[in-house]
Structure 1
């Protein structure tokens, strides 16, 4: 059995107990090109002359900080098909399984293209894409001629498309935006599971509850619906009036201290705080880094909770993020707590990631295939 997945912004293949990392050739070439441009302009922005003229402030962006995202993986005759986003440009590429490969096949590229997952059936690729990560919509790409059919639009965010076993419909998660007073999309609502039938053009709701998000839907050959369920969070923090009143003097003092520290650095060249020049404090982080750091801060708490719950392979995802099976008669069964991602295998087993381990679920039995952090886009490449 050969399994592909994405972790730490890199492609991986698991086969017979061995894990192989496959660098994105597209990313490696883009990074080399940016490094060449960076080096060519370095003489203008480094050294005492550049500091004297002020050109040092306009130094090129460090190539190592180029935003890169991998948000889609599918099997391909020669290896895998993957979706990558590089500095506001998204594309689909074919990658063979040789780690040393220096070339890869190009399928499509588009400016301002972001992905929310892909799933392949024959030559038809279901994918969720959009001009921003917040607005993604379902479409179908014919890999024979790269013709694309757009299915949904509007103020919605669709993700995790998956063909049904018989190919009669595409399951996906969808959430709508509420609009602000100015008419712009604001708060994102809970995700529900929808099914689109290409033959009839019908769109049906399979699973919805305002208290939960339903993600990564898949359908078994018996007609059961699988998905990840987690409590819906609108991102708004509740404020305590009493706490705000008690902390008001402290916040005023911290604000004044920060203002004085800024003036000291701006006009005196030295900070008032001895640790304010620490790289950990001054480094500007990307939203992706903040997101992952946010998860890692909670990971320790989640790991302890999963250990206390008696999990054989405790993960770093919250226990209330569960893998759910919904039978055709509506019966719901929680198959596992603390699930980051999963995929169904043809023989009924389930491949699962809990943020720390890659697991094979066979009924109540769990087998660890590999230790890997934040593995997602789990894909069966070959049985």
Structure 2
């Protein structure tokens, strides 16, 4: 069975429809924001060059390089709203917004040369094009994961404030502003509508603690909560002090799916042995710093190093932020090479588990080393370990569908969708 899905990789949106090749979707709003930033940088470039020339006087010279990524653009969440439309959240610099993407067949004239007489032979063919529409944007907060209720035409998303809190918000698809439906000193993320005709959202929530200056010093373990919009009632569905329970989804039968990972407080105990080791190494680190400073100027003016040592290529482990936690991706790749597919090892620890929990039953582990997943109405499941996407049909086993890196989110599209 083929799978239709969309996924996010490196902040970009991609579509994979059956056996067709992967399609990359670019945001017109994001591209325009980057272009404006680039033009502003070019206008101010003469000032930077002037300052650089003054600073680099005395034999040192250089040019200021233009940074085309001065406005970072990233898609933060995506979900389908109909057979031919997606909705997604976008972060462009300081602006966060909600956009829709529609596919439509536009006529394109072929077989004729432009600017010829109207009698020239020509035919019309229909090509699939995309159209982006902005629903909402704001500089006061960022918009994260998003979901859509088809019966009520409601959007649910997470808004991340500048003070570190996050709330669940909702808005009609044709609305003009978001209404926050949770509040408090907490981080509420990953809203998902329950199937059916009731307005119920499941989401993850974690309380935060602040010091006297208002800075966040601790974050509690994430629980799974349920919000009844009409009754304004919130209940806890699942909680375990030993684990963070993340990205919840619930099917029509009440079965709960979520990612479970070991809880780790923000404030870690500093071992006395490590503190003593760091103190003893202070003189060595100072000597290294002085040597590197002298070596820099020697290489700058003579092209040679103070020490003729062979250059050894060092592999630096890349830190990436996944589900609110920094992960040493290089280390996890090395650890996970012996599990699953060797060419697509998990980017996160194997202790990050995809769990299925039926009402009044113990959790059942579906997959290990899981970063993102989605459950379809027909029981299909797609999940990602960050390096690949796997699909499971009801009663079947996991099959690999696609390899990419890093994969941050994956959502199932309607099998009858017309986005191809």
**Shorter chain as normaliser: what TM range?**
0.7 to 0.9
Q: Is the 8 A contact 2:102 2:130 kept in 1?
A: no
Could you tell me how far 1:197 is from its partner in structure 2?
Answer: 0.3
Q: CA deviation at 1:131?
A: 2.1
SS at match of 1:382: coil
Could you list the per-position Cα deviations for residues 164-219 of structure 1 after superposition, in whole angstroms to 9, with x for gaps in the alignment? 01144100000010122444432111110000001211100001111100001000
- Name 1:86's counterpart in structure 2: 92
Distance across 2 between alignment mates of 1:61 and 1:85: 22
CA RMSD of aligned residues (A): 3.6
**Does the CA-based 8 Å contact 2:333-2:346 persist in structure 1?**
no
Q: Could you tell me whether the CA contact under 8 Å between 1:11 and 1:22 is conserved in 2? A: yes
1:226 equivalent in alignment to 2:257:
yes
Conserved? CA contact 2:344–2:388, under 8 Å: yes
Give the TM-score normalised by the residue count of structure 2: 0.77
Q: Retained in 1: the 8 A contact 2:247–2:258?
A: yes
Give the 5 Å matches for 1:186-201: 186-201=217-232
Alignment-derived partner of residue 126 in structure 1 = 156
Q: 1:286 to 1:101 in 2, by over 3 A?
A: farther
Please say if 1:303 is aligned against 2:336. Answer: yes
Aligned CA distance change for structure 1 residues 54 and 40 (closer, same or farther; 3 Å): same
Unpaired stretches in structure 2, ≥5 consecutive residues: 105-126, 416-420
2:11 touches 2:76 (CA, 8 Å); kept in 1?
A: no
Aligned ranges 1:159-198 → 2 under 5 Å: 159-166=189-196, 167-198=198-229
Q: 1:25 aligned to 18, 23, 28, which one?
A: 28
Q: Contact 1:261–1:272 (CA<8 Å) still a contact in 2?
A: no
Alpha-carbon distance in structure 1 between the residues aligned to 2:72 and 2:306: 31
1:142 matches 2:145: no
CA contact (8 A) 1:79 1:381 kept: no
Is the CA contact (8 Å cut-off) linking 2:370 and 2:386 kept in structure 1? yes
**Given the two structures, how large is their TM-score scaled by the length of structure 1?**
0.84
Q: More helix per residue: 1 or 2?
A: 1
Cα displacement string for residues 29-81 of structure 1 (whole angstroms, at most 9, x for unaligned residues): 111222222233333433xx553445999969723243333211121444311
Residue 367 (structure 1) aligned with residue 399 (structure 2): yes
Relative to structure 1, is the Cα distance of residues 302 and 364 closer, same or farther in structure 2, using a 3 angstrom cutoff? Answer: farther
- Quick check: 2:329–2:348 contact (8 Å CA) kept in 1? no
Compared with structure 1, are the counterparts of its residues 295 and 186 closer, same or farther at alpha carbon in structure 2 (3 Å cutoff)? same
Q: What SS does the aligned partner of 1:13 have?
A: strand
| Structure with bigger gyration radius | 2
| 1:55-70 correspondence runs (5 A) | 62-70=67-75
What 5-or-longer segments of structure 1 have no aligned partner? none
- 1:304 positional shift: 2.5
The 3 A distance-change label for structure 1 pair 19 and 133 is farther
CA distance in 1, matches of 2:251, 2:267: 36
